[in-house]
Amino acid sequence: MKKQLLHLGLVLLMGCSATAQNKDAIKYGQSITKDNAHKHLSVLASDAYEGRETGKKGGWMAADYIKNHFKGLGLKGPVAGDYFQPIDMVTISLSQVLTIDGQPAEVLQDFYVAQQVVSGSGFAFNTNSIVFAGYGLATDGYDDFSGLDVTGKVVMIFKEGNPSGGTVSGNASSALNAKLKYFNDHKASAVLLIDAAVDKMSANLKNYLLSEQMVMKTKENLERMNKPQPMPVINISTAIANKLFVAAGTNADALKKKIAESGKPASQELKISLSASANKIETKVKTDNVLGFLEGSDPKLKKEVLVITAHYDHIGVNPNAPGDDKINNGADDDGSGTTGVLMIAEAFAKAKKAGRGPKRSILFMTVAGEEKGLLGSEWYAEHPVFPLENTITNLNIDMIGRGDKEHASDNNFVYIIGSDMLSTDLDRIGKKANKDYVNINLDERYNNRTDPNRFYYRSDHYNFAKHGIPVIFYFNGVHEDYHQPGDEVSKIDFPMLAKRGKLVYFTAWELANGLKRPRVDKNDDGSIKK
């Protein structure tokens, strides 16, 4: 009797185990392999693609490769019949001029204007009088502004330091912001900051100041860009300041010494002509999200859409990188995730051709501009091709080809982030799919909003989550080649890339074929909805 009952129990358990797996899901997922992954990634992360930077040749090549793959699978182009969703994006650079008594100064040697402090189309001014206001401080027993009226005046101050000749204690940035606020509140027309950093400008600072700012023309960004400029702020070298101090027969060092020794301000008006301008130059950037659409088979459920994403862009070429290799190939970040999306799309496309397609629709989307600030996914969220209210979940793949030092002894893992942030249903479905089909160690150490790394906020899923759409972010952690030329195809763990890709695929299968969409039962702060 006991033996027979035990045998019957085993049969029942085996039966339960079998029914937990869908034979069609397993059959059509067989194309998600290490060899298929290598085929795609060896192209996308090759030197020929030049690091796939947004708005550059390599990025366009990657977009074309993905489009052709989607088209070859028979996926639909859902953007008015096309696979590309154009992003309204521009780069902004500054044309800067500064002259003293008609003599031009040299940008990045004598002065600079930070692009971030210029709004609208730019500024231009000229003056025959400059007010020197020492360190721009007003404290007990010392007041650089005593007897000064800065209204409508160009004001010059030392950016750093204090009347005693030492350094300013506390946060230097906050101290400077307080000074600039004073001048803005008192309606100064412009501020010149005597900045020692300009005297010996580092290569990194020069590269930063010369870099173009990439901006999407969203409503919010346009409002910010066109907001009236409070006042121009120009950082100048000590040499340029001394050319201005000639009008008073002195120089910067002499004034610092005088203030330190007397303990009194040396504020004064300098009669000298100066003109300055900074004009923004906008250049249109060609960049697109790449979308492939597979329509669901169920007449009632096909309006609901599962979105599977990865970003195909990376950071391009760095001419200043040490060594001979200057190309940031981005094999793991995020060539691996893009490869995962291509393979998952192929598996579902084969299922549909065989009459076993998903009940709900699936949008496969590789986005641009993630490395510039999650721009492509933000653009889609603000200009959705399918209504966000019909979007049931976003599964986002960003780095699944390697591992980190925390898992050096066993790479059979993946970090999952966000799965229980908004929906307990999604969390359950994702973990059950792993248990039923893949059996990867699901590491949730970063699955919280207070993680110092802020991974929940640092990839494209967040632009869905902030609209109340449940998400899962799949991630293999940061390694020593993160954003470095060493992120090469040769270092990819292709069996694990395929295995992690299968986890996303099987999770997607369950979501696309489930009786109900995942219920959003949590608020944005993680509290349970009532």
Question: What is the sign of the dihedral through the CA atoms of 479, 480, 481 and 486?
Answer: negative
Q: Which amino acid is at 236?
A: I
Minimal CA–CA distance to 371: which of 315, 289, 290, 333?
315
| pLDDT exceeds cutoff 80 at 96 | yes
Decide whether 22-87+288-513 matches 91-283 in CATH topology.
Answer: no
CB neighbours of residue 324 within 10 Å: 6
pLDDT, position 17: 40
Coil, helix or strand at residue 493:
coil
Residue 443 CA to residue 447 CA, distance in Å, equals 9
Name the strands in the sheet holding 288-294, side by side, starting at the edge strand that comes first in the sequence.
84-86, 288-294, 361-367, 305-311, 391-397, 471-475, 413-417, 441-443
Query: Residue 169's pLDDT is what?
Result: 56
Q: What is the mean pLDDT of the chain?
A: 92
Of 530 and 260, more confident: 260
Rounded to a whole number of angstroms, the CA Rg of the chain reads: 29
Cα 461–466–469 angle (5° rounding)?
70
- pLDDT single digits (tens) 336-346: 999 999 999 99
Contact (Cβ atoms closer than 8 angstroms) between residue 421 and residue 522: yes
CA distance 133 to 529: 57
Q: Label residue 526 by pLDDT band (50, 70, 90).
A: confident
Among the residue ranges 96-100, 217-221, 402-406, the one predicted with the least confidence is 217-221
| CATH number for the segment(s) 22-87+288-513 | 3.40.630.10
E-assigned strand segments in 461-506 = 471-475
Domain boundaries, the chain: 22-87+288-513, 91-283
* Residue 390 identity (one-letter amino acid): N
The reported pTM is: 0.84
Phi-psi sector, 55: left (phi>0), alpha (psi -120 to 50), beta:
left
Average pLDDT over residues 201-220: 83
CA distance 90 to 380: 17
Rounded Cα distance between 98 and 125, Å, is: 10
Residues 206, 203: Cα–Cα separation, whole Å:
5
Q: What is the pLDDT of residue 6?
A: 42
pLDDT tens-place string over residues 464-499: 999 999 999 999 999 999 999 999 999 999 999 999
The predicted-structure confidence for 444-466, as pLDDT tens digits, reads as follows 999 999 999 999 999 999 999 99
Tell me the two tokens of residue 369.
């501009």
CATH number for domain 91-283, candidates 3.50.30.30, 3.20.20.100, 3.40.50.170, 1.10.10.10 = 3.50.30.30
Distance CA(392)–CA(469), nearest Å, equals: 7
- Confidence (pLDDT) at 9: 45
Query: Residues near 223 by Cβ (< 8 Å), separated by ≥ 6?
Result: none
Residue 357 to residue 295: CA distance in whole angstroms: 9
226-281: pLDDT as tens digits: 676 679 999 999 999 999 999 999 999 999 999 999 999 999 999 999 999 999 89
| Residue 174 CB neighbours (<10 A) | 9
CA distances from 20 to 9, 62, 169, 510 (A): 17, 38, 64, 11
Distance CA 468, CA 421 (A): 10
**Model confidence band, residue 140 (pLDDT cutoffs 50, 70, 90):** confident
